[in-house]
Chain A
């Protein structure tokens, strides 16, 4: 029995060629970078003076690095306010993205929850999603006595809105706490 080495070489080359069909390492463009929420912005309007003030909590460098920093929310006692919240991607200062629009578009899958402590009054949500259930991008509250407190704002994804404790369901996309001072 004999076998020609040339045949073997031919075989090996043939096989080697067939490897070129293998998957290659494909790098994706950096443009596909996903957006992330870096900023939670509260726009609070005094219903008497119609004056709107903006307060932010920002974490521009993402999850790691520096912790988020926030403005202190300053309110007047015994006043009525309306509130709207927005979520921004400010990681690229040249290209600030407003993610709130996407939350509105998918309103049935999102819920914004408010939790107040101390002198910060309870926020009443005033808007509805496409299924006529609570959304939370807009709300209202009325302050009473002066003092300090906190307001925790949570953006939930795919919560169980029918649940009795809807705010403890779903995945948290953003959760920030504002310090609040109510003064006379």
Chain B
């Protein structure tokens, strides 16, 4: 991480030309890029600010969008000076070791002299792994549709849907327990094992979402065979005053309304360095509509709330964070089926039995999900280059599923009695010590302990169980100039103890112990400062989940009888990827990733051949089995400037999954897809905010590589979908209002997605017109003049 020092409210004398360069190294080996964005107090771009590095006199002028780039920098200690007419100067000292992105927040000169704020963020320490980020209007455009849907904009990321209301992210073909979701720095411990269990995260909390693809990020834990999704809220405000953002969205399909807001501030003065934020989201939607019919009972309610408090000492900082996610999701009534005959009848119909009307009513079947997170994080500066980070978190997850049928003994009862109820309580304690090992090597040493209790009420699909885990890791990143290499190594060891207690009426009393190492080795090779190759090879493992070991029963909605396999062993992935990044400023920007992921003892559901007979008739039976599997593919992302205002955007995701034991394709692998778009930039507003119109064409091929058995219907046909999007910032007096208008599925195309489990029953939703408004606001508090202050991040 970048160590930086900040000077507040002190006038800087320009001393250009008087200082010697910080380091006199061979310029050919100085390849570091420092880029960033200058923003105003409201987070909007601050145009045409001047950026100077005092040590070597290198400078740049931020563009209309506030962005700037400084290239060919040698590593070393720098002082950056950011100036702009009408704003206070900003001075920032830091050590540059690798490519770094900064956000510089300028404060307009007011009547009083106020403290300036700097928020600095480093490019994610992704090492050699492929990663993609989503922020700004790209993130906001999808937030109203949910976390999974917003991530679909990234190459290599798709979703596994259960109807139109439940979407799980899929990274390079892997999902559920094979990926990790880090919700504000805490590993999400929800009900990710189920394919119809969406991530329990409010997408409006996120200021930035990063997807790290492939195995090897040892810092966040075992299990990440497919990758990691980092959902990060913005940092607490560093300057006195109060401000925030209001988001309002209306979606035509489902007649959905969303209101979300952030209110944050910091007390004035240095005596009580306390900052805080409250955030909340309310979402309400009704029945969704396909081009031909409404989907009965597909509404949604969502009420999310979070708060954060931060206290900043001289060389330490403590943050407390609480978030509560609550949703009620309707499940398409026609998708709830009793047995194999019902399923075949439904597939033969291929559409809901009756045409529903629009309604906000949420009936059965339904899911109600609650997720709470409490986190206390303390950071202590332990030296010039070192920092200790301690985090305690508690998560509580409650998942209530309401069957289509009320319980027979609950006649007349309201919808208060779930058919099945899962609860998880998780405590985690984590530590991370960042330190320097010599001038060219930075390392992290850390560990964690987790205690988890899971209970299942009503129904015996899963046993009650406890899962306890401990792990520790070490990572180091090394770069010594003039070598054009950067190396990163990561090692991790985890131990897990699983105790499965009671399953329905049976006492299992089964104990399972798993342990294993994870590791990664990566290298970045800089051909040129803007052309680099990332090579990563990593290994990760995942203990079988209780659902895979002990589940016994009919899986809701899928009409399959699933039997666990108590003798499963851990699965292990060996993942290798190559990523080539080539950015030619103002001309093109392209990233190509190829990956090869070998998973030993891959756990999958194997069709049992003979159906299971019950009093409700026959159900297709599946057994959890293991085999060696191979996933390989290609993700490509490119932006090519065709003309001054016109950019071609292109994405390709290809994937092949193979089961080596069965000598057959893996089931439910994302089909090959292509996304091409034209983005036309309109003249920026006088304040410099970006305006654009974008037309995207998405082509998804038919998944022709499906296994011989295991699915109930053949893969759906290929389709082409058109999306239109426009973003512009309006000004009402001094108040900026960002307005986005999007039309998803512009031509109201009828199509079905292979990775939607409800494709048997219905088409995908039709045209959806989304209007979104973002209103940042801020009130500056009178702050007394501050002395020099410094802190370390």
Contact = CB atoms under 8 A, between A and B. Distances in A.
Given A32-B458, A63-B554, A25 B396 contact: yes
Contact of B342 (A22, A58, A171): A171
A63 B553 contact: yes
Contacts of A12: 318, 376
Interface in B336-364: 336-339, 341-342, 345, 353-354
B405 interface: yes
Interface stretch (B523-531, B612-620, B675-683, B736-744): B612-620
Contact of B311 (A11, A22, A102): A11
Given A64-B552, A175-B341, A1 B270 contact: yes
A160 interface: yes
A42 B324 CA distance: 51
A38 B423 CA distance: 28
A35 B353 contact: no
Contacts of A23: 370, 372, 396, 398
A163 B457 CA distance: 37
Contacts of A170: 338, 342
A160 B318 contact: no
A172 B616 contact: yes
B407 to A, nearest CB: 4
A113 to B, nearest CB: 11
A158 B552 contact: no
A173 B394 contact: no
Nearest to B617: A175
Contacts of A64: 552-553, 561, 563
Interface string A33-44: 111111110000
A106 B419 CA distance: 19
Nearest to B392: A16
A19 B374 contact: yes
A169 B344 CA distance: 11
A39 B504 CA distance: 20
A108 to B, nearest CB: 13
Nearest to B316: A8
Interface in A111-170: 154, 156-158, 160, 163, 168-170
B313 A22 contact: no
A28 interface: yes
A32 B400 CA distance: 14
A4 to B, nearest CB: 10
B376 A154 contact: no
B762 to A, nearest CB: 15
Contacts of A26: 423
A110 B614 CA distance: 20
Interface in B297-346: 309, 311, 313-314, 318, 320, 322, 336-339, 341-342, 345
Given A25-B455, A28-B421, A175-B617, A3 B314 contact: yes
B409 A34 contact: yes
Interface string B377-404: 0000000000000000010101000001
Nearest to B343: A172
B246 to A, nearest CB: 26
A171 B559 CA distance: 11
A75 interface: no
B617 A22 contact: no
Given A35-B407, A172-B616, A160 B345 contact: no
A34 B345 contact: no
A16 B318 CA distance: 13
Contacts of B405: 157, 171, 173
A157 B338 contact: yes
B42 interface: no
Interface residues of A, number: 54
Contacts of A157: 338, 404-405
Nearest to B370: A23
A96 interface: no
Contact of B404 (A8, A57, A102, A158): A158
Interface string B78-90: 0000000000000
B389 to A, nearest CB: 16
A27 B454 CA distance: 11
Contacts of A174: 615-617
B19 interface: no
B616 A175 contact: yes
A103 B466 CA distance: 39
Contacts of A27: 455, 457
A89 B367 CA distance: 26
Interface residues of B, number: 59
Contacts of B354: 160
Contact of A22 (B271, B309, B372, B614): B372
A15 B453 contact: no
A97 interface: yes
B787 interface: yes
A163 B353 contact: yes
A160 B338 contact: no
B15 interface: no
Nearest to A38: B615
Given A25-B396, A33-B458, A1 B409 contact: no
Contact of B616 (A1, A24, A160, A173): A173
B411 A25 contact: no
Nearest to B339: A172
A40 B617 CA distance: 12
Contacts of B318: 8, 11-12
Given A1-B270, A171-B405, A40 B615 contact: yes
B371 to A, nearest CB: 10
Contacts of A160: 353-354
A171 B336 contact: yes
B620 to A, nearest CB: 13
B789 interface: yes
Nearest to A99: B408
Interface core residue of B370, B425, B616, B787 (most chain A CB under 10 Å): B616
A172 to B, nearest CB: 3
B456 to A, nearest CB: 10
Contacts of A163: 353
Contacts of B407: 34-35
B374 A22 contact: yes
Given A25-B396, A175-B616, A175-B617, A168 B345 contact: yes
Given A32-B458, A34-B409, A67 B613 contact: yes
B372 A175 contact: no
Interface string B599-631: 000000000000011111101000000000000
Interface in A6-21: 8, 11-12, 15-16, 18-19
Given A8-B313, A22-B372, A106-B411, A34 B458 contact: yes
Given A102-B408, A171-B405, A28 B457 contact: yes
Given A15-B309, A34-B419, A63-B612, 4 more contacts: A26-B423, A37-B408, A38-B615, A63-B616
Q: Which 9 A-B pairs have the closest CB atoms?
A: A172-B338, A175-B617, A34-B407, A59-B615, A171-B338, A168-B345, A67-B613, A1-B270, A35-B408
Interface of B: 270-271, 273, 309, 311, 313-314, 318, 320, 322, 336-339, 341-342, 345, 353-354, 370, 372, 374, 376, 394, 396, 398, 404-405, 407-411, 417, 419, 421, 423, 425, 453, 455, 457-460, 504, 552-554, 561, 563, 612-617, 619, 787, 789
Interface of A: 1, 3, 8, 11-12, 15-16, 18-19, 22-28, 32-40, 57-59, 62-64, 67-68, 89, 97, 99, 102, 105-106, 154, 156-158, 160, 163, 168-176
20 contacts: A1-B789, A3-B273, A11-B311, A11-B318, A19-B394, A22-B374, A23-B398, A25-B396, A32-B417, A63-B553, A63-B615, A63-B619, A64-B561, A67-B613, A102-B411, A160-B353, A171-B342, A171-B404, A173-B338, A174-B617
